[in-house]
Amino acid sequence: MKNIFDKYKMKNISLKNRVLMAPMTRSRSGGNSIVNNIITNYYEQRATAGLIISEATQISLQGQGYSNTPGIYSEDQINSWKLVTKAVHEKGGKIILQLWHVGRVSSSKVNGLQPIAPSALIAKDTKVYVFNTPTSKDATMIPVESPRAMNKDDLLQVIKEFKQASRNAIDTGFDGVEIHAVNGYLLDQFLRSNSNKREDSYGGSKENRIKLLLEITKKVIEEIGADKTGIRLSPFIKFKDMKDPEILDTFMILAKELNQLDIAYIHLCEADWDDAPQIPEDFRKVLRKKFKNTIIATGGYTLKKANEVINKDLVDIVGFGRYYISNPDLVERFKNNWPLTEIKDSHTLFGGRDEVGYTDYPSYN
């Protein structure tokens, strides 16, 4: 009987258990998107997870969509992340950096730049947040702005930025990178027929719409190796104006191509709200046939549900998000059946510069 506490080997990365700390944007970075000491402490506290996927980290200023999110493109940003990887590794943990470009989900009030996207289509009913002061915990929500359609130079630039960001991540000490292609951001925008209306080789057919993601993946593999490369996808999530009737078929075509590239894993981002759509077991079985390497799933899992999908061999690793906010020792709590701490104040989820609601949640003991 396989369970979540078993050791697991993902390509060349040996994990002490199958518990994953999911990527969660917390907007705690300092000026110029630099990681600070409190962020280092936050990840160090949670290093008993088999694997940590970092919060989404922009690959360029253009790729930023929210205030106070970290970057991986400047020398100062790179050096600041070194403290995080060192702290996690000293605790016996493994950590992967998630590479992010938000595309049209942005505003010039965040980064001073007009958003870019596959097509000049605004994301309906979509907002991003800014903070009025550097230490503020209360965000001001602002609507996204109309993007401009990416030209050839833009496409080449984004491919270059993902490749360079992957090199920066490995040089910083991360165990690998995860290409962010979920939740209505840039690469997800290319995948979907409703947000991608291009008439060139990057739009139209399903095969064309996966082209940019595949080109980026190949460049990342060239730079750091397939064994250090993963991709996160969200075929069942439709918010940020991303409802596409073709996405499941597109996803399976993509999964087959990713299998041929032999990347380390596919990470499924699953909806975690109360009335969220359930992922059919048949979908998981088909994915398992098309993709031979590690499959990770994150989204509203309990310990019981996690063990069920692992034991059925539908998933290899299960991620936990909200539980990890208020339970830094989540693995130990699961093992010992200790009670879980609830999140105390939702205002502390994003923003701020102190430990309140971030690193002040104690371990059970």
Distance, CA of 81 to CA of 203 (rounded, Å) = 36
8-348 has CATH 3.20.20.70 classification:
yes
Could you list the beta-strand ranges (E) of 104-256. 116-117, 127-131, 139-143, 148-149, 177-181, 229-233
From the CB of residue 200, how many other CB atoms can be counted at a distance below 10 Å?
A: 12
Planar angle of CA 277, 321, 330, nearest 5 degrees: 130
Could you list the beta-strand ranges (E) of the chain. 8-10, 13-15, 19-21, 51-58, 95-100, 116-117, 127-131, 139-143, 148-149, 177-181, 229-233, 265-269, 294-298, 317-320
The verdict on whether 8 is a catalytic residue reads no
Report phi then psi at 261, rounded to 5: -75, -10
Distance, CA of 282 to CA of 290 (rounded, Å) = 13
Per-position pLDDT tens, the chain of length 365: 899 999 999 999 999 999 999 999 999 998 899 999 999 999 999 999 999 999 999 999 999 999 999 999 999 999 999 999 999 999 999 999 999 999 999 999 999 999 999 999 999 999 999 998 767 778 899 999 999 999 999 999 999 999 999 999 999 999 999 999 999 999 999 999 999 999 999 999 999 999 999 999 999 999 999 999 999 999 999 989 999 999 999 999 999 999 999 999 999 999 876 666 678 899 999 999 999 999 999 999 999 999 999 999 999 999 999 999 999 999 999 999 999 999 999 989 999 888 999 999 999 97
Catalytic pick from 8, 43, 185, 323? 185
Report phi then psi at 328, rounded to 5: -60, -25
Distance of CA 157 to the CA centre of its chain: 21
